[in-house]
Structure 1
Amino acid sequence: MGYTRSGMSDGPGNMQHLRLQRAASRSDVFPKLVAMQRNLKARHFAVFRIAGAGLPNKRKLVCELDNWGPGGAEHQTELMTGYGEIFLDHIEVSILPLIWNGSENASFAEAGEFSPLIRRLESKTMAFSGIAFPVRLGAVGNGYVTFLATSIDLGSDLIIDQHVRSCQVMMDLLALDERRSVPAETLSEREIACLQLAGDGRISEEIAENLGLSVHTVNAYLGSATIKLDSVNRIQAIAKAIRLGYIH
């Protein structure tokens, strides 16, 4: 198992681009996970979301995306049997990544340089070592982005970088869910432009001057966008438009 101190290989400029570019479909999320898998030199990834949150004894982990390949169901069952309950309990109290040893690499969870950044789990009888990045986004959208392999490269900087990317993946999935729940009537270019400027802190008069519109028209666009986004006010509409990827 390698313990190289890997940095943010894509560079800060590309990381900023990653954060701002919202996935339009699940097919856009998959390449992000493949890139993360490459960075970690992992063999498999799986994204689990928590269903039944808030319901006693009803919580469970649901696999949303994975590249298990042949025998995938076996890997998933092994992981959930070994650590499923621990995953569910851990995310309620901590967002530290979890790591564990596989039977083929008993030294994986022993390196000390990144100890404050992770929680080690008791080893189970599993073929693969792994790391699971927990993500909490509120009442919904919580879960784990998980990577497994017999050999994974880990370092303090890389753990932080991949945790940030895991949050982006979960935000993408949540935004796609919300987008499906939004009425079929989508936002117009003018509504998006007004929301973007409002989100930048501009008042209606400034937005009107910037777009060459009347204040009345700007307020009408903001009002219709608020209705389309099923929001109670302009602030909530801006927040939802950001989550859905209309503005940034």
Structure 2
Amino acid sequence: MGYSRSGMADGPGNIQYLRLQRASSRSDVFPKLVAMQKNLKARHFAVFRIAGAGLPNKRKLICELENWGPAGAHHQDQLMGGYGEVFLEHIDMSILPLIWNGSENASFADAGDFSPLMRRLEEKVVAFSGVAFPVRLGALGNGYVAFLATSIELGSDVIIDQHVRCCQVMMDLLALDERRSVPAETLSEREIACLQLAGDGRISEEIAENLGLSVHTVNAYLGSATIKLDSVNRIQAIAKAIRLGYIH
């Protein structure tokens, strides 16, 4: 899929990525973040969503999940005070991860072969070093997944792998929000079956033969499912059905 993160949920080329196992609740997301934290040898993680998109001077970072510990409020205030505005500006211009030095480790961002894949921030008065992976999934799904420590294990392959996982985490949170607001009119078994086969790459004629239906009926089911999912086309409907857990 390349290293572009913008608009990951759009287009047929990204359907396969969306087939990764989706979380059914926020309790499923937390272990994923802990595993990523261990891979990076970090101390803490925090997931931030950008609220107030499209409103001048109203955007801010809201912490969705974290494991700061007892000093959580202090850590968050330091991070937002030092880099909050930089985070908001950066995500509009680039999807490169951000890395910064804390006062405890002045050499944290000075080594490694990953400099083309990161943006190094100027040093601020914060007690911890860190890396923040920006994720852009549309107005409601933009934000960062950050990992904090005095030392984090980084390398080109690790950066790319962890960035992909951060996108999955943000997609999980977005899907859970969508699931809570899904309309009362749910998909029928036939609509789900047609969407599943369409998501597998089958055309209407093949779906009709597989399900013993006419092509007209298959197209009608796909059309009604697209409307129920508030999507503009079949591809978007498939992507949303995957995110909501109707199909895989």
Q: Normalising by structure 1, report the TM-score.
A: 0.86
Question: What residue is the counterpart of 1:208 in the other structure?
Answer: 208
- Mapping for residues 1-248 of structure 1, pairs under 5 Å: 20-248=20-248
Question: What residue is the counterpart of 1:11 in the other structure?
Answer: none
Please say which of residues 195-204 and 34-43 is displaced more in the overlay: 195-204
Contact 1:43 1:147 in 2 (8 A): yes
Q: CA deviation at 1:73?
A: 0.9
**CA separation of 1:212/1:177 partners in 2, compared to 1, >3 Å: closer, same or farther?**
same
C-alpha distance in 1 between matches for 2:97 and 2:234: 36
C-alpha distance in 2 between matches for 1:18 and 1:29: 15
Percent of aligned positions that are identical: 89
Determine helix, strand or coil for the equivalent of 1:108: coil
Contact 1:182 1:228 in 2 (8 A): no
Structure 1, gaps ≥5 residues long: 1-15
Q: CA deviation at 1:216?
A: 4.7
**CA separation of 1:243/1:166 partners in 2, compared to 1, >3 Å: closer, same or farther?**
same
**CA separation of 1:108/1:62 partners in 2, compared to 1, >3 Å: closer, same or farther?**
same
Determine helix, strand or coil for the equivalent of 2:45: strand
**CA separation of 1:154/1:18 partners in 2, compared to 1, >3 Å: closer, same or farther?**
farther
Contact 1:19 1:168 in 2 (8 A): no
Aligned residues: 233
C-alpha distance in 2 between matches for 1:189 and 1:27: 28
Please say which of residues 48-57 and 237-246 is displaced more in the overlay: 237-246
User: Root-mean-square deviation (CA), in Å?
Assistant: 2.0
Contact 1:44 1:67 in 2 (8 A): yes
Question: What residue is the counterpart of 1:3 in the other structure?
Answer: none
- Which digits, 9 at most, give the CA deviation of each residue in 1:156-187, with x for residues without a partner? 11111101101111111111122222113332
Determine helix, strand or coil for the equivalent of 2:125: coil
Determine helix, strand or coil for the equivalent of 1:53: coil
Please say which of residues 83-92 and 238-247 is displaced more in the overlay: 238-247
Q: CA deviation at 1:202?
A: 2.4
Q: Normalising by structure 2, report the TM-score.
A: 0.86
C-alpha distance in 1 between matches for 2:110 and 2:124: 15
Contact 1:192 1:247 in 2 (8 A): yes
**CA separation of 1:97/1:17 partners in 2, compared to 1, >3 Å: closer, same or farther?**
closer
- Which digits, 9 at most, give the CA deviation of each residue in 1:62-114, with x for residues without a partner? 00111111121111011000000000001111111111111111110101411
